Amino acid sequence: MLKFIKDNKYRILFMVMLCACIMAAFQYALTPERKLAILQPDQFDPSLVDDSMLFVKKYHKIAPFSLVNQNGDTITQADYEGKIYVADFFFTTCPSICPVMTKNMTLLQEEFKNDPEVMLLSHSVTPEIDSVSVLREYADRKGVMDSKWNLVTGDRQQIYDLARKSYLAVKKNKYGGENAMIHTENFLLIDKEGRLRERSYDGTDEEEIEALIEDIYVLKQSYK
C-alpha cells in the first residue's frame, strides 16, 4: 500500500484537488445569492414613523427633496439618482452620539471614496443653527469629501417630513415645539430606486458599520 501511494502520489494529489474543486463548485451552485430586503414603514419601530405612514406596506420610497449643502449648493433627489447612498440625521453641536456617528460615516467615506456609485447624505435636525457656514466649518473639521458626502440644511418642515415619512429615522419631540425632532443613531441604506434596504444600522457601532459595508457590496452586486 505504501509503495502504491508513493508511486502514485501525484495522481492521488491531483484527484484530491479535483474532488475539492468539484465540491466547492457544488457548494457555490447550491448557495442562494444573498438579497437585501426592501423595507416598508410598517416594519419600523412605530415611534420613528409619522402616523400617516404607519400602515404603509408597499411601494415606499424617499420623497423628493430640495436642501442646501455645506457649499451653499442646492441638493435634490436628482443628485442621488442612480446612486446607492447612506443617510443619517445629526446636528453639529450634538455632544453625545453625533461625533461617533460622523467618525463612522468617515469610515464609509474612506471605503467608497473612489466609487462614484456610492454616496452619503447627512441631514441637520437643527437647521436654524446649522447654517451653510456652520456646516462648512464642520465638514472641514471632520474631513468630509464634498464629492462624496453632503451635509444638508434647509426648511425645518421638509427635514422633519423626510425624517419621519421617508427615512423613518427620528422620534417626535413632544416638548420641543412644532416639528421638533429627537434624532437616532440610525444609518439608512437607500438603493438606486430610492427604497430603504435591509434594516437600520447603528451608526455608533463599528461592527454595524462593517455589516453595512458588506451590505452595500451585496447591493452593488445586485445591479450587475
Where does residue 162 rank: exposed (0-12), middle (13-18), buried (19+ CB within 10 A)? Answer: buried
Q: What is the pLDDT of residues 73-124, one digit of tens each?
A: 999 999 999 999 999 999 999 999 999 999 999 999 999 999 999 999 999 9
Quote the pTM value: 0.85
Q: What is the pLDDT of residues 168-223, one digit of tens each?
A: 999 998 877 778 899 999 999 999 999 999 999 999 999 999 999 999 999 999 99
Q: What is the pLDDT of residues 118-152, one digit of tens each?
A: 999 999 999 999 999 999 999 999 999 999 999 99
Q: What is the pLDDT of residues 214-224, one digit of tens each?
A: 999 999 999 99
Residue 28 identity (one-letter amino acid): Y
- Better-predicted residue by pLDDT, 95 or 8: 95
- Better-predicted residue by pLDDT, 95 or 29: 95
- Binding site membership: which residues? 94, 98, 183
Over its C-alpha atoms, the chain yields an Rg (Å, rounded) of: 23
- Do 182 and 173 form a contact (C-beta atoms < 8 A)? yes
Cβ neighbours of 146 (radius 10 Å): 13
pLDDT of 34 = 86
Beta-carbon contacts of 64 under 8 Å, excluding residues fewer than 6 positions away, are 76, 77
What cell does 178 get? 412644532
Residue recorded with cell 460615516: 105
pLDDT of 179 = 86
Sorting pLDDT into bands at 50, 70 and 90, what band is 28?
very low
- Do 134 and 106 form a contact (C-beta atoms < 8 A)? no
- Do 116 and 148 form a contact (C-beta atoms < 8 A)? no
pLDDT of 222 = 96
What cell does 139 get? 465638514
- Binding site membership for Cu cation: which residues? 94, 98, 183
pLDDT at 155 over 60: yes
For 76, 77, 151, 162, the CA distances from 132, given in Å and listed in that order, are 16, 19, 9, 19
Average pLDDT score over residue span 42-62: 97
For 51, 77, 163, the CA distances from 218, given in Å and listed in that order, are 32, 23, 25
What cell does 194 get? 430610492
pLDDT at 157 over 80: yes
Angle between helices 97-111 and 132-142 (to 10 degrees): 70
